[in-house]
Amino acid sequence: MKHFFRFLCVMTMLCFSMSGHGETVSMWVGDSYTITEPSYVVSGTMYYQVQQCIFEYDAAYFSLTQNGNQATVKLKAPFQGTKAITCKATYTMYGTKTYTHYFTCNPVNISLYPTVMTLDVGQSQTMQWQFSPSNTQYGATVSFSSSDSNIASVDFNGKVTALSAGNATITATTNYGTTATCEVTVNPAIATSVSLSQTTLNIAVGGTQTLIATVLPEYTSNKTVTWQSSNNNVATVNDNGEVTGMSPGTVSITATTTDGSNLSASCSATVTSIAATTVILDKIQAELSVGQSIKLTATVLPAGAQQRVTWSSSDPSVAKVVGGTVYAQEMGECLITARTLDGTNLTADCLIMVYPEGEVPSPSGLAGDVDGDGKINIDDVTALIDYLLKGNSSHHSGSNEGALDDIIW
């Protein structure tokens, strides 16, 4: 019987060790709460004194100061849901009991002002917000996000910037997980001006040239324009601004905005009856030293065709061209191109070879131009023979015969 009684006591102890007491405490960040575990347990007629208490908790959210079977818990940071603090209490001659305490964090709510915002593209507005309850001890912070940052962006201060027409939702989220929103509507940006790449145009019958329309401001929502010719019998224009000459005469080509601003810009186009068939340059190759320049002349055929051309360089760092005048910049090679302006887009090229300063074979910049007249002909051969017959001993004695010495040697 004595052993049976001891068995019942042991089973009772084991049952108690598996049990505990639960409670749920709601706290604000910064609040403290004291947990007191039982100083003894009773089993039958026996009292068992607490010997040791070990508390387990999440240190990211709680701090804990222990004094025997008591612990003061302080909430350091907000969280969502429920967190538990457990205590394993050991009682002398009895065993261990586990106590569990549950904690929730009181939420800090947020409100925004305004809750509805209307902006034009390019405008900005900063939102105001307020926590409730508004006590700094609660440690509330807020972050912002946009449902569509291409329409409206928001920075960490709540400043909303309208970027393009449309609707977006700005959401403020606290570190407590609470949210508030502001609905943003961005109005389309209306054009304030439109201009064309050219105000006058010369084009041959059958030729084409393209006009480019620039709509400002840059952030204008709708930059499309419609194109119109004042006389399609003289010249037509398509949706891309490409003008085609139909018959001799003068017309007005107009681009008009389509965003409701009804702004327009026009170009006067003159159509000529003779189209260019070829363009030639007076030089197909030239040699220059750094710092030198040379003038190129373009001739457009037939004679009655428009003579205007545009000039370009394949490498302006080697040689740049302005109005047909080529300026040598640094050693290398490039092509200087003349292009007709009547819509035929015919081209002619001149190869430019740039040497270090003072090292050009001929004074004219043209290879083989011995007499320096800018041409290669029988006179250059005669000059070269005459030079050879006279001898070139002066070259070895240090004198300079100019271009001939450069070419021979």
Query: Would you state the torsion angle of the CA atoms of residues 321, 323, 326, 327, taken in this order, to the nearest 10 degrees?
Result: -70
Laid out side by side, the sheet with 242-245 consists of 208-210, 242-245, 235-237
- Quick check: 2 pLDDT over 60? no
Cα gap 354→365, rounded to integer Å: 9
* Average of per-residue pLDDT across 213-236: 92
Q: Considering only 127-141, 168-182, 231-245, 330-344, which range has the smallest mean pLDDT? A: 127-141
Give the global pTM. 0.49
- Quick check: 394 pLDDT over 70? no
What pLDDT, in 10s, does the model give residues 68-94? 999 999 999 899 899 999 999 999 988
Residues 6+ apart with CB under 8 A from 11: none
| Residue 128 pLDDT | 95
What pLDDT, in 10s, does the model give residues 344-384? 899 999 999 999 987 755 555 455 555 555 566 676 666 66
* Average of per-residue pLDDT across 241-269: 94
| Residue 305 pLDDT | 83
Reported as a pLDDT band with limits 50, 70 and 90, residue 20 is very low
Q: Which of 44-48, 80-84, 393-397 has the highest mean pLDDT?
A: 80-84
Give the amino acid at 306. Answer: Q
Look at 253 and 372; give whichever has higher pLDDT.
Answer: 253
- Quick check: 396 pLDDT over 80? no
Reported as a pLDDT band with limits 50, 70 and 90, residue 271 is very high
Q: Considering only 46-60, 73-87, 125-139, which range has the smallest mean pLDDT? A: 125-139
| Residue 9 pLDDT | 41
| Residue 324 pLDDT | 95
